[in-house]
Structure 1
């Protein structure tokens, strides 16, 4: 097992994946580990929905209904989609935006863990993510928000060269401005 630093440095998005995917049993320990993100008051303001097989076609129909373009084939680009849902809990201490950040953190850590386990992963969104038809297809409550899907599958054979360069840490890490 590598370090978190090595996993973060090696992470990349895989826009094309093969038809293999982790089983539910393989996913469960990764989800448990991803659930360890910072979570003020331990509210667990998130949930994940796994979509396989016919579920992906139902999502395609919902996207088509939302866009008016007919069923979308986009959900068929990977054998497993993991819907990331922000599911805020009532709290006087933790605002809803912070709870949504926790759900985003879970998605990112899960994508790192899947990548480290050898799976191809890409977090996909789109204008239809907040469409009522798509929310209904996922069984979301009025308070919940869909943050997108992790598209997961096998990695096609190819080298890791050519993906985007990292950020310039000197440019991105600033300091507090002087008082005055």
Structure 2
């Protein structure tokens, strides 16, 4: 097994993060890795926002403002403090470009692959990451507050920093749980090694 395969087999999301955040040089390399995502027609249909310091508090305010009328004060406080769970958040943005051969959905998948590459590169550099989405990723007030243009969407909020405590291992499914061997129309059977 190659070192890359071993790294992928051991990858995990880390919810308990603290300072220090990755330095700019590390983030820059990780973003260069993100730009290596499969990209049909080289459209570069992504962009990123790096949020740290006081801007995390501003993001929390934006999250709190996005809470609905039915949400109580407790939900607003939880939303307000959510960005403070890490010293840095990188917001992935899918930014599809008009193209007759590359539909928006392919461009959004490319942007999501870039987020995955970004998270792997930060993990490889020794930092913890937690890719979050949830309702904030789709809320129009958040999209506007973060400066997204019409047609852009959030692929996720990548929380990153130094792992403060290891979490227990997550059980991984067997390939037989989610893979079938297809042999023709309406013909498939369980995957086996």
Fold match, TM over 0.5?
yes
- Counterpart Cα distance in 2 of 1:179 and 1:16: 46
> Which TM-score applies when normalising by structure 1?
0.91
Match for residue 95 of structure 2?
87
Quote the residue 1:174 is aligned against.
180
CA distance in 2, matches of 1:135, 1:109: 23
Deviations, residues 88-132 of structure 1 (Å, cap 9, x unaligned)? 011111111111111110111111111111101000112121112
CA offsets, 1:138-159, max 9 Å, x none? 111011101221000101244x
**Matched residues in 2 for 1:170 and 1:126: separation?**
29
Match for residue 107 of structure 2? 99
1:8 aligns with 2:8: yes
Q: Which runs of 4+ in 1 moved over 6 A?
A: none
Q: Which residue of 1 aligns with 2:21?
A: 21
**Does structure 1 retain, via aligned residues, the 8 Å contact 2:26–2:122?**
no
Give, in angstroms, the shift of residue 173 of structure 1: 2.6
Could you state the TM-score of these two structures normalised by the residue count of structure 2?
A: 0.85
Give, in angstroms, the shift of residue 170 of structure 1. Answer: 2.7
Choose 81-90 or 31-40, whichever is displaced more. 31-40
CA contact (8 A) 2:96 2:107 kept: yes
CA contact (8 A) 1:51 1:82 kept: yes
Q: Is the 8 A contact 1:58 1:137 kept in 2?
A: no
* Matched residue, 1:41: 41
Q: CA deviation at 1:177?
A: 4.5
- The structure 1 residue matched to 2:135, chosen from 127, 135, 145, is 127
* Count of residues in Structure 1 that have an aligned counterpart in Structure 2: 177
CA distance in 2, matches of 1:136, 1:168: 41
**2:16–2:165 contact (8 Å) kept in structure 1:** no
Gaps of 5+ in 1: none
Q: Which residue of 2 aligns with 1:117?
A: 125
Which whole-Å CA distance do the structure 2 matches of 1:179 and 1:150 have between them?
40
Distance 1:128 1:172 in 2: 29
Farther off after superposition, 140-149 or 127-136: 127-136
CA distance, structure 1, for counterparts of residue 81 and residue 38 of structure 2: 35
- Which residue does 1:32 correspond to in 2? 32
